[in-house]
Structure 1
Amino acid sequence: MHVPDGFINAPVSVAAGAVAAGAVAVSLRGARRELGGASPAEGHGGEKTAPLAGLVAAFIFAVQMLNFPVAAGTSGHLLGGALAAILVGPYTGVLCISVVLLMQGILFADGGLTALGVNITVMGVVTVVVSYALFRGLVTVLPRGRRSVAVASFVAALVSVPAAATVFTAIYAVGGTTEVPVGKVLTAMVGVHVLIGIGEAAITMLTVGAVIAVRPDLVHGARGLAAPLKLRVGGELVDAPAAAPVAARSPRAVWATGLATALVLAGFVSYYASASPDGLEKVAADKGIDKKAEDHAAKDSPLADYGVKDIADARISGGLAGVIGVGITVVAGTGVFWSVRRRQTKDAGPARVPDAV
């Protein structure tokens, strides 16, 4: 759903940019708390969350290269807002998506630079806010446990995609550069993005479930939700002793596995992605939204269109571009999140030592 240049007029693009900038500013402040983490005794401090947030951004970049077919001549790809919010928190999630969109726009000519504010607002802010609000509501009413987290992740991700499509349509209704009936655009956008949402939901649920299976303490949305194991002793149910933490995989192992997975997806699996236009591109072509689309300012970038310039072999060119993109995103994202965490640590100051009694 990357909006290109020329779909939305300048005044509305500027307004969306201001909204996106405000959301990023608020998220930077909120992410300090999320990345600052809790006490080391709780096992999920910022020293683990900051690298994971960089990895989440890189993983979303990789999976967004994997367009999957959803209807005749139409494909979809992960937006990632729900996945990021559930794994690392809503504020950090907005920053993750913003980093991905910035890398895609500047280096890969994917998503217009003048439309960057629109894309961050629609794909980052809306998906995160809608999905995380719904996720928290569901885990509150569902039985406590990992299965409830998986169900809530699926539903939240599913709803976030048509919600983003609806907000894009609203922005288009105010600032669209072509005269197209908004009702037809809304029907088409929501219809196709409900189908894309099913794919988004499946990817989100499977990814969240995979992380929970090895390190539930690293999943922001799952903290404190696991129901204790019960044992029957003397005819009464009592809480079983907590499992020894040494059995869990180390955060470094989880990070390395996630990065390797992202590299394989972007460097190899992406070659087999659907070549059909995604939901927005298909609707734009069918309804005439793209009549005033403009060439991307970075169309001559060495990595434009997810290929390496001057490499003729499509498999090698696309795979290498994907690997470069994952590498750049994980470095840039981790740098941003470490900086935010260091700022939180600096603001918090040294821990106070209690007076001796």
Structure 2
Amino acid sequence: MTKRFGPVVAVDDVSLAIAEGEFFALLGPSGCGKTTLLRMLAGFETPTKGRILIDGEDYTRTPPNRRPVNMVFQSYAVFPHMTVSENIAYGLKMDGVRAAERRERVAEALALVQLEGLGDRRPDQLSGGQRQRVALARALVKRPRVVLLDEPLSALDAKLREELRFELSRLQDRVGITFVMVTHDQDEALALATRCAVMHKGSLVQVATPADLYEFPSSRLVADFIGSVNLFEGRVRVDESDHAIIDLPEAGITAWLDHGTGASETVQIWLAIRPEKMELHKRENGAAPPVMEGTPEGYNVMPGTIADIAYLGSESVYEVRLETGKMVRVIRPNLTRWDQEDFTWDEPVWLGWHAEAAAVLLQ
């Protein structure tokens, strides 16, 4: 599909297949086209070019109320003058479903989202998390083939958002309906989705499982957007099937990989290393640098000085300045109650990584 608003191309020739029963996430920064794509699936926008097929049937020109699709909005959009039960039953009532069947299906929906006994309350008597569940129940009660979620948890506080992630995942697995979610929150997408699509400037950049998206990004853009990453520009010196040697001027060292890259020596590449895959070691005067696992001596180790520390409870984040001036981020889990005291500001350290830790990016 393509969608243009005058000279602006909001969605640029996107082709995508989503499996039945899948929890699929559209991920990307503001303005990347993900919400426009979701609105076209819902029927609120008409594609400039392309088709939307659901179970092989073309719904491109079908109005929203006649599509087998329901949408959960970021703002919940529950009716404040109606009770919880009336909110959930509203779509069924508009479809002419008989009162007895409405009551039965509303009771099922309330049980599904764990709101039994709250059907007579009004939205202003509910918490934010409960209102979000009402919006979900209203979408599910019509038994659509696809549920669309627009930033479903963004209006909630951090702790409640984390709790509802697990609930939403369990709920989708239980009902077996296809969920398509739009979010800019990487953690939310990685935690909930079976597959994610990263969008940039209206185009799909990479479609993959959360693990593959994080561990095997297709480009610097994806590596930098999904989580935190250290990127080192370099060139291949040796490239064999079982190992590669890469010069990294920014780091002032030579890197060793336990696999080939397939890249020419004339091509610029980048090594992407996640902060939690970096190691910190004390740098004592006169002591030899450590040897990284799976790596010959003298590779994948560089000297630096701790410039900043952020203690986050379960982990600590270290900003380390290399001798070249480049800043590198390291994340260490606080496995004991004293881990945060192991390193301090302005302390000289060795940074290193194992031979398999780095991803090679060609773009």
- TM-score tier by shorter-chain length is under 0.3
Name the structure with the higher strand share. 2
Normalising by structure 2, report the TM-score. 0.24
Normalising by structure 1, report the TM-score. 0.24
Using CA pairs under 8 Å that are at least 6 residues apart, name the structure with larger relative contact order, 1 or 2. Answer: 1
Whose radius of gyration is greater, 1 or 2? 2
